[in-house]
Amino acid sequence: MSELEKSESESGSRRHKFDPMPAKLDFVQSATGLFLALFMWGHMLFVSTILLGNDAMYTVTKFFEGEYIFGKSYPAIVTISVAIVFAIFILHALVAMRKFPGSYREYRIYKQHMKQMKHSDTTLWFYQIMTGFVMFFLGSVHLYIIMTNSGDIGPYASADRVVSQWMAPLYLLLLLAVEFHGSIGLYRLMMKWGWLEGKDPKASRKRYKRAKYIITAFFLTLGLLTLAAYIKIGIAHQDKVGERYTPTASIQQYEGGIA
């Protein structure tokens, strides 16, 4: 083989060499997205305990602060936990941004492609990008506030933040962005990795999509009811902003027993 042929062969080999980085980044995006979606569902169930009463929300708050394990509340536990979630949130956003349209021209091309395709999954991906963009800014604000004010979580403190600190509009927009982004993301994860696909992929797609709509409707309803409950408490508590909730005698007696 001549030197020229050897050079061309080596050049072709380099051109066709497999680059594992895109696959690794896809895995990181999927793994962090799955973690964040499950975390947000758990978080929604936690904050929605206000619907069961102030004592229920207070008890869950103290549990996450370690009071029922250590006999004393340590808000720093919440701070550290939120900081970890915040780091994963930023990592997920950075990895996902590589797939965003990089210019207005690319955005126009994608919109034209979406219009021509008229495929629901293509449209869902567009909604996922838009809600992800909104969620990055609103979610960062929320996580930073909780991380730096972890001792101010409770029926009154949280309600005061919603009403007296005018966080209700942010939380409403964040709720919409999170629930749509999360449910679409999980649906696309199921399709991407073939989880529970079965023998009929087309039937699985319909089943996943139906589940996505049910999950979105459930958590949106729960979130709106929860936000309304905090607004109601915050309005009633406006003349006592800064006051912390005092649990009922039964909760105090239980806390005294574990101290």
Side chain identity at 34, as an amino acid letter?
L
Residue 222's SS3 state is helix
Q: Give the C-alpha separation, 165 to 98, whole Å.
A: 35
Residue 12's SS3 state is helix
Q: What per-residue confidence (pLDDT) applies to 167?
A: 96
Averaged confidence pLDDT in the chain:
86
Q: What per-residue confidence (pLDDT) applies to 112?
A: 80
For residues 6-33, average pLDDT = 73
Domain coordinates in residue numbering, the chain = 27-245
pLDDT in tens, 218-247: 999 999 999 999 999 999 999 999 999 988
Q: Give the C-alpha separation, 225 to 48, whole Å.
A: 8
For residues 63-82, average pLDDT = 95
DSSP state of 65: T
Side chain identity at 219, as an amino acid letter?
F
Please state the pTM of the whole predicted model: 0.83
pLDDT in tens, 134-171: 999 999 999 999 999 999 999 999 999 999 999 999 99
- Residue 11 tokens read as 């050049």
Architecture per CATH, domain 27-245, reads as Up-down Bundle (1.20)
Is the Cβ–Cβ distance between 245 and 154 less than 8 Å?
Answer: yes
